[in-house]
Amino acid sequence: MNGVFYLAWQHLRFFKYRSAILVLGLTLTFALPIASHLIITKYGESLRSRANTTPYVLGASGNRFDLVLKSLYFGDAQLNSIAQEDVDQVNRSEWATALPLHLEHSASDTPIIGISEEYFAFRNLHAKDQGIQLELGDIVVGAEAADALKLSVGDRILSDRKTLYNVTGQNPVNLKVVAVLEPTGTADDRVLFSNLKTTWLLDGLMHGHPDPQHTGSEDPHNQGISYHEVTTENRASFHLHAYPAEIPISAAIVIPKSEKGATILEARYETNENLQLQNCTKVVEKILGMVIRIKSFFDAYYLFVLIATLLFVGLIVALSSQLRKNELDTMRRIGASRWFTFRLQATELLLIVALAGILSAMVTLIGLQIAEKFLGIH
């Protein structure tokens, strides 16, 4: 058997270009369907795990998919605002607890999520080596965001302008990092958290008397950008210029206290023209159902590609046998049996398939790593 393997390997090495074409063709044929299946499966698990721990989201009437995906994964969708009073109504009821989310701001293109402090307990988020206490102008940084932005406790970061060309709008705020979260493998790792008052300040709804040393000054790291900074000395001077009930909120996570409460809330918002209450698990399953239907189409496509590739390989093997007729006849004349020549060709084909399998596994692993980074799945 060692002799057969040696001869087969030497033959593949001699015809290296033909062998490489066969290996690469089979590699792509094997890797693409396997990688797509694993990526979709892992992506589905990631979506389901977060949706299953978030019962409902409340938001303005509109696209339900945008509402759920923005509230759970902090994507780029734009949501119409609801009022703080809409959230307060849920909290005043005996049926559920609502956790408000303000999702309109960012810093260095990283989302700033305005939350109530109950959110940390709800998501089981913990800071590294310290507790979490958010004041006006403070932010808590997710683990991946901290690495990407190179932030640590005590650092500061400027919020982004909502509109670049609105020179009369609210100046950016120089936010202070007060904690860095432990990694969780979720969307919370990739964002910045502030309390709601800080996002209202970014909205321009809060005013005060910022430190003259910073107000209107230019950040040396961001030339030409004037900013405000909240400090211990001036924090008490900031006050709200809006009715609390009318303050805009992007959405709210709604946690029913019982099955009865969930049923009552669903019925209450089903006929509401301005608000919608969406079951996160149902919406995510709907999205995944559409993805799976698309995947089924590609699975059928990959099957035809596999058949075509196998026919192509079979044609090459058949032509190769014809071209090697004199070589194989010579082997038989010096004592090699037909069984030996058959094993020789079979071993060559198995070596090609084995190399393609190894390369396809490597391509699949690389593809998974790229997909995890690009799609934000873990």
Give residue-wise pLDDT tens across range 38-95.
888 887 887 888 899 999 999 999 999 999 999 999 988 889 999 999 999 999 988 9
Cβ atoms of 34 and 367 within 8 Å: the answer is no
pLDDT tens-place string over residues 313-336: 777 777 777 666 776 677 777 777
Provide the mean pLDDT of the chain: 83
Answer whether residue 210 shows pLDDT above 60: no
Average pLDDT of span 266-292: 90
Whose structure tokens read 């040396």? Answer: 220
Q: What are phi and psi of 55, to 5 degrees?
A: -60, -60
- pLDDT by residue (tens digit) across 108-146? 999 999 999 899 999 999 998 777 888 898 999 999 999
pLDDT greater than 60 at residue 299: yes
Do residues 114 and 206 lie in contact, with contact meaning Cβ atoms separated by under 8 Å?
no
Is 291's pLDDT higher than 50? Answer: yes
- Burial (0-12, 13-18, 19+ Cβ within 10 Å), 53: middle
Over residues 195-212, mean pLDDT: 78
Residues 275 and 87: their CA atoms lie apart, in Å, by 11
Q: Residues with Cβ < 8 Å from 44, sequence gap 6 or more?
A: 288, 291
Q: What's the pLDDT score for residue 220?
A: 46
**Structure tokens of 372?**
């995890």
Distance of CA 39 to the CA centre of its chain: 12
Place 2 in a pLDDT band, splitting at 50, 70 and 90.
Answer: low
**CA dist., res. 134 & res. 119, Å (int):** 12
CA 92-97-103 angle, to 5 degrees, is 110
Query: Beta strands 239-240 and 206-207: pairing type?
Result: antiparallel
Report the alpha-carbon distance of residue 108 to residue 131 in Å, rounded: 25
pLDDT at 180: 94
Q: pLDDT: is 2 or 183 the higher one?
A: 183
Looking at the DSSP bridge assignments, the partners of residue 179 are: 140
Torsion, Cα of 282, 283, 287, 292 (10° steps): 0
Cα separation, 280 vs 269, in Å, equals: 15
Question: Token pair 């209202």 is at which residue?
Answer: 200
Which neighbouring-strand residues pair with 276?
59
pLDDT digits (tens, 9 = 90+) for 226-252: 667 887 778 777 777 777 777 889 999
What pLDDT score does 305 carry? Answer: 79
